[in-house]
Every structure is written in C-alpha cells, then in structure tokens.
C-alpha cells in the first residue's frame, strides 16, 4: 500500500483566470482525458471566471461559498453540493470564509445518473 497526500500543504497556487487565495492539489490524471484534484480556497479566495475545457463536476467537501455560471448571479453553495458545468460553459467559484472542493474533469461525465438534483438550479 502507498499513502499519498492531497492536503493544503501539498497544493500549489492557481495563478490563472485572475484567481486569488486559490490552491490546487493535483490528484489523478488517467490516460484518457480525466483529471481529479482538490481545491483549497482561503477566505476571500476566487477561482476566476473561465470557460470549462470539458465537462466539470465540483464536489464541495468543506466550507461554503458561491458559484456563478454564464451571466448569472452568484449562487450560494456549501459542503454536500455538487456543481456541474458543460464543456464551454463560463463559470467562477469563490468564498468569503473558505472552501475545499474536489474538481473532476472528464468527457462523458453525467452526475444526473447517480445524484439527485438540488431544488435551486444555477443557470
């Protein structure tokens, strides 16, 4: 058995998209186009507005914050929420108090196949 780390100390800053106080610990990349990591957004942190290069699922594990998709308003999110963006969809994630989330990027993602839809939708 091997034990690996994905804690905050193993994460690196996210410099792209005008992001602030945002870090990612890389997780897994498969031979196909799949990538899994761990975001750490410190208080006031933002992963800046950018376009999804492929379908993306963001699982909020700890804390709370907000997301924005397209030209929409900020929508509050918290631990237990899963956000899904289609390829090409513009989006942004931020927090006032801190947030940890697992981003999953892969072709063919279909979270609706297993997860129930939350009543408040983001458009």
Q: Is residue 115 part of a domain?
A: no
User: What pLDDT is recorded for position 29?
Assistant: 64
Specify the higher pLDDT residue, 109 or 85.
85
Q: Is residue 89 part of a domain?
A: yes
CATH number at residue 75: 2.60.120.10
Alpha-carbon gap, residue 12 to 69, rounded angstroms: 25
Contact 99, 63 (CB under 8 A): yes
Q: Is residue 64 part of a domain?
A: yes
Q: Is residue 120 part of a domain?
A: no
| CB neighbourhood size of 8 (10 A) | 12
Q: pTM of the prediction?
A: 0.78
Per cent of the chain over pLDDT 70 is 89
| CB neighbourhood size of 73 (10 A) | 9
- Number of structural domains the chain divides into: 1
Q: Is residue 119 part of a domain?
A: no
pLDDT (tens digit per residue) in 19-78: 999 998 876 666 677 888 899 999 999 999 999 999 998 999 999 999 999 888 999 999
CA atoms within 13 A on the CB side of 65: 30
Rounded to 5 degrees, φ, ψ at 34 are -130, 135
Q: Is residue 3 part of a domain?
A: no
Provide the residue range defining the domain that includes 17: 8-110
Alpha-carbon gap, residue 83 to 19, rounded angstroms: 19
**What's the mean pLDDT in 4-31?**
82
């Amino acid at each position: 058995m091997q034990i690996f780390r994905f804690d905050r100390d193993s994460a690196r800053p996210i410099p792209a998209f005008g992001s602030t106080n945002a870090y990612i610990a890389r997780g897994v990349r498969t031979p196909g186009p799949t990538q899994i990591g761990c975001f750490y957004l410190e208080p006031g942190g933002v992963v800046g507005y950018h376009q999804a290069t492929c379908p993306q699922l963001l699982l909020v594990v700890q804390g709370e914050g907000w997301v924005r998709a397209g030209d929409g308003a900020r929508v509050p999110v918290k631990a237990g929420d899963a956000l899904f963006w289609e390829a090409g969809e513009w989006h942004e994630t931020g927090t006032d108090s801190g947030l940890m989330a697992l981003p999953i990027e892969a072709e063919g993602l279909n979270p609706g196949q297993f997860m129930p839809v939350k009543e408040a939708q983001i458009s």
